[in-house]
Amino acid sequence: MLFLGIFGGISVPLFAYLYFSISGFETQRVDDWLGREYVAMQRSSPQRLSALFDVLRQSDPDQQRPNGLFGNGGHYIAGSLTTLPRDIPYVGKPFAIRLHDGPINQTARCIAAKLPGDQIALRCQNTLELDSFNIGLVKVLLIGALFALAIGLIGAAAIGLGSLRRLDAVTATIRQIVGGDLSQRLPTHRRHDDLESLVRVVNGMLDEIERLMNEVKGVCDAIAHDLRTPLTSMIAGLERVQRRGQTIDDYRQALDDTLVEATGMRHTFNALLRISEVESGVRRQSFVPVDLAGIVKDVYEYYEASAEEKALIYRCEIEGGGEFALEGDPNLLFEALANLIENAIKFSPIGGTVTVSLIRLQGRVHLSVHDNGPGIPEAEHQAVLRRFYRGEASRHTPGNGLGLSLANAVAAMHGMSLAFDRIEAGCRVMLVQADGIVD
């Protein structure tokens, strides 16, 4: 209805303009003829006009163009009009008047001219056809307006009902989602309108919410599974020393074992909190210019002793030895690279090789850690990035399955992506920059 109101508000002045333009054109055509007749009357003598008006009266029995010549005081001289109208508003200009002269009873547009001897000549044009034309024009415009409004109302109703049906379907789906069925998605349509754009954005949001909810569920299940063993061990140890402990050393040993298990759980929770903090993007506020090459050197030196204990061939390769400047958090970058190198050292065999490299490849920076350990199967490349995931190769080694998750979160925070290179033996983990991150 609002649309129809706006449409009507625009249509009324438009139709009025059309009416006055077309009607005015016809009126102007009559006035132009009257103007020419006025000039002719001014140039003619009264005797000639008298003869002309008598001829016109006989040749125009329907009185479509009545005329009259009147002397001083308005007495009749010649023409089809026998009585001079009382109120002549203009002389020399066309005017509209109602003629009441015997059989002549009609509306007309006339022009009056003063002649020598105070005579007045009157020339008129019957406006019956013009009035009929104006009435017909009004009817046509009204019919056109009503037809346009009807079409507009039908179209608006069809569009409105279609939108309401779509909104009803969206509302019903939202109720199902609110009820807990996160697998539902808002119905889509082939039309690419505003509502469809909104539906697609909301569906994308629902995909992300479902992913996050499944991840939270997976994390909760993983926490329950991974913490059940140390908690059970702690409780069993405490109950055992409670029943059997006889000396202070027994109690001290039980406390030491409990502290070890509790410290491990604390490390797990700290890692989870760290990942959540990184994924929230809060640490972006503390970004400063850092040298990525310097961080690589620091982490490499930090793990030299661990590599020597396993007699590893431990190398660091930095292209050109120059700086790799970027905006970032040096502590998080250090921690992410440390997790990658620690995993490489942990899973490399004694006497194996671990290589840390930082190069530019096709204008993009590649930071990689390569080892010749058992590697990660390609089918598990995405799974190992989930929290608490432990592959078969790492299931019986110390750890909580959060190192790669933290490294992936830090990489994403710094505009990088964590990827696994396909190699025949070992594992190569890469942090690849997005365009424009590193100078």
Domain containing residue 374: CATH number: 3.30.565.10
For residue 377, give its domain range: 285-433
Q: What is the residue type of 203?
A: N
Domain boundary among 280, 313, 337: 280
| Residue among 235, 238, 166 at smallest CA distance from 202 | 166
Contact status, residue 53 vs residue 142, Cβ threshold 8 Å: no
The pLDDT tens digits along the chain (439 residues) read 777 777 778 878 888 888 788 778 888 888 899 999 999 998 888 888 889 988 888 888 877 888 889 988 888 899 888 888 877 888 889 998 888 776 677 788 899 999 888 889 999 988 877 777 778 888 888 888 788 788 878 877 887 787 788 888 888 988 988 888 888 888 887 777 788 888 889 988 988 888 778 777 766 666 666 677 778 877 887 887 777 766 788 788 888 888 887 877 776 677 666 666 666 665 666 778 888 888 889 989 998 988 888 888 888 888 876 667 788 888 888 888 888 888 888 888 898 889 998 888 777 788 889 888 888 777 777 767 766 665 555 544 555 567 788 788 888 887 888 888 877 778 888 888 776 444 4
Q: Give the C-alpha separation, 134 to 43, whole Å.
A: 34
Which residues face 291 on adjacent strands?
A: 325
- Do residue 247 and residue 342 come from a single domain? no
| Residue among 220, 172, 166 at smallest CA distance from 388 | 220
Q: Give the C-alpha separation, 270 to 264, whole Å.
A: 10
Please state the pTM of the whole predicted model.
Answer: 0.47
- Do residue 248 and residue 308 come from a single domain? no
- Do residue 71 and residue 43 come from a single domain? yes
DSSP string, 358-423: EEEETTEEEEEEEE-SS---GGGTTGGGSTT---GGGTTSS--S-HHHHHHHHHHHTTEEEEEE--
Angle 399-400-402 from CA coordinates, rounded to 5°: 115
- Do residue 306 and residue 386 come from a single domain? yes
Residue 249 lies in a domain: yes
Which residues face 359 on adjacent strands?
A: 366
